């Protein structure tokens, strides 16, 4: 199958990622269907899609008002006129209001060219889902998973189409952080890998290719040891978060919000705590992992879970700026 043959794309699940992915797929002009397990799930999905729709339209408005606000995922062309941005906006309003929501697996999958699985990170649920749809999808369908914790080989057999199954992993706020990590398993075909790459381009993403399975993909493989090194420096009493962040900023010229502790505040301290708690020695307060757990727990227990609640390692004002 060539990218030109991809007409209908179905997204299974409509959480944070599912709602963003569905919206970007629709924004780029594909016939977009969201499959959900129940009418209750549909009721919860609607406000999420509406919120993403507002964010995307808001990004276009901001871009029109200030060209520095250009958002890579929303236009390949950087230099557009006001009229061209208006056209994009009108098209976006139209397309984002035509996302089809359904609980019917038949309607969602029987003629889908690409399916993107964004359901809960629960292996039993994922397996049951794959087994259920394997008999409904046509032969041609490329099946992608956005799972951030499971490797595609885990479910390849359950899908009934290991050669047309692989990971397409998205970031958050994908219109801005428009990267996809493409990860194949041993039996993914070259054709599927290439189609996933073309599809990424077609939905405004920059594809990053992994030739084999790697837990954490590229981005988390880089971020997690960097986060750990930063947290270790603070947990062991060597220095404080602001000094670590300033050091990174001064050496690399990074934007202040792209330094280790500012980024952990965005990820959220509970997720950092969950990851560090799985490290060897996390139960022993004398090990580096144990010290990091104690540090993170002290913040999480005090309700300082990150920028989402205006306080993590830093305090933030309502615009997300650090309060000194």
C-alpha–C-alpha distance, residues 60 and 274, integer Å: 36
C-alpha–C-alpha distance, residues 35 and 105, integer Å: 7
- Least separation, in Å, of the C-beta of 259 and a copy of itself? 9
Q: Which residue lies nearer to a copy of itself by CB, 128 or 271?
A: 271
Distances (CA, A) of 239 to 244, 258, 276: 7, 19, 20
Please report which residue ranges of the chain form alpha helices under DSSP H.
16-27, 39-65, 82-96, 105-109, 123-134, 156-159, 190-202, 219-235, 241-252, 260-267, 269-277, 288-301
Ordered strands of the 206-210 beta sheet: 100-102, 31-35, 8-12, 114-117, 142-145, 165-170, 179-183, 206-210
Site for a copy of itself, residues 9 to 48, rule: CB under 8 A: none
221 part of the interface to a copy of itself, by CB under 8 A: yes
Among 244, 273, 276, 291, indicate the residue that binds a copy of itself (CB under 8 A).
244
C-alpha–C-alpha distance, residues 9 and 99, integer Å: 10
90 part of the interface to a copy of itself, by CB under 8 A: no
The radius of gyration of the chain's CA atoms, rounded to the nearest angstrom, is 21
Give every CB contact of residue 51 below 8 A, 6+ residues apart in sequence: 19
321 part of the interface to a copy of itself, by CB under 8 A: no
Q: Which residue lies nearer to a copy of itself by CB, 98 or 255?
A: 255
According to DSSP, the residues that pair with 114 across neighbouring strands are 9, 142
Among 38, 81, 211, 319, indicate the residue that binds a copy of itself (CB under 8 A).
211
Q: Closest by alpha carbon to 117, among 164, 69, 63?
A: 164
- Least separation, in Å, of the C-beta of 248 and a copy of itself? 6
246 part of the interface to a copy of itself, by CB under 8 A: yes
Is-contact 201 207, C-beta < 8 A? yes
Q: Which residue lies nearer to a copy of itself by CB, 57 or 247?
A: 247
Among 27, 155, 248, 316, indicate the residue that binds a copy of itself (CB under 8 A).
248
Among 247, 277, 279, 310, indicate the residue that binds a copy of itself (CB under 8 A).
247
CA angle, residues 189, 117, 98, in degrees to nearest 5 = 115
**Residues 168-197 as x/- pattern, contact with a copy of itself by CB under 8 A:** ---x-----xxx-x----------------
Q: Residues touching a copy of itself: how many (CB under 8 A)?
A: 43
Select from 16-24, 40-48, 218-226, 272-280 the region that touches a copy of itself (CB under 8 A): 218-226
151 part of the interface to a copy of itself, by CB under 8 A: no
- Least separation, in Å, of the C-beta of 296 and a copy of itself? 18
C-alpha–C-alpha distance, residues 185 and 163, integer Å: 9
229 part of the interface to a copy of itself, by CB under 8 A: yes
Q: Closest by alpha carbon to 132, among 59, 35, 206, 219?
A: 35
Site for a copy of itself, residues 249 to 308, rule: CB under 8 A: 250-255, 258, 260, 263
319 part of the interface to a copy of itself, by CB under 8 A: no
* Interacting residue ranges for a copy of itself, rule: CB under 8 A: 171, 177-179, 181, 206, 208-212, 214, 218-219, 221-226, 228-230, 232-233, 236-239, 243-244, 246-248, 250-255, 258, 260, 263
């Amino acid at each position: 199958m060539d990218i030109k043959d991809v007409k209908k794309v179905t997204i299974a699940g409509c959480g944070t990622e599912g709602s963003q992915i569905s919206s970007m797929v629709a924004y780029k002009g594909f016939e977009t269907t969201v499959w959900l397990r129940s009418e209750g799930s549909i009721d919860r999905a609607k406000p999420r899609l509406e919120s993403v729709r507002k964010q995307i339209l808001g990004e276009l408005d901001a871009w029109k008002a200030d060209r520095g606000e250009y958002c890579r995922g929303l236009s390949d062309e950087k230099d557009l006129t006001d009229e061209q941005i208006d056209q994009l906006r009108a098209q976006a309003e139209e397309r984002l209001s035509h996302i089809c929501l359904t609980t019917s697996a038949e309607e969602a999958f029987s003629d889908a060219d690409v399916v993107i699985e964004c359901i809960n990170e629960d292996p039993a649920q994922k397996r049951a889902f794959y087994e259920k749809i394997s008999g409904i999808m046509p032969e041609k369908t490329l099946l992608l998973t956005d799972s951030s914790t499971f490797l595609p080989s885990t479910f390849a057999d359950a899908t009934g189409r290991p050669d047309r199954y692989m990971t397409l992993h998205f970031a958050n706020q994908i219109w801005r952080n428009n990267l996809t990590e493409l990860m194949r398993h041993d039996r993914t075909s070259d054709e599927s890998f290439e189609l996933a790459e073309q599809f990424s381009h077609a939905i405004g993403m920059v594809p990053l290719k992994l030739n084999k399975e790697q837990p954490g993909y590229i981005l988390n493989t880089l971020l997690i040891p960097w986060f750990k090194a930063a947290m270790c420096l603070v947990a062991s009493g060597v220095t404080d978060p602001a000094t670590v962040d300033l050091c990174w900023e001064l050496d690399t010229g990074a934007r202040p919000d792209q330094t280790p502790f500012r980024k952990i505040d965005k990820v959220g301290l509970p997720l950092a705590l969950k990851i560090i708690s799985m490290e060897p020695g996390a139960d022993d307060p004398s090990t580096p992992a144990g010290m990091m757990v104690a540090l993170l727990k002290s913040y999480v227990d005090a309700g300082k879970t990150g920028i989402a609640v205006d306080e993590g390692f830093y305090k933030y004002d309502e615009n997300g700026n650090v309060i000194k």
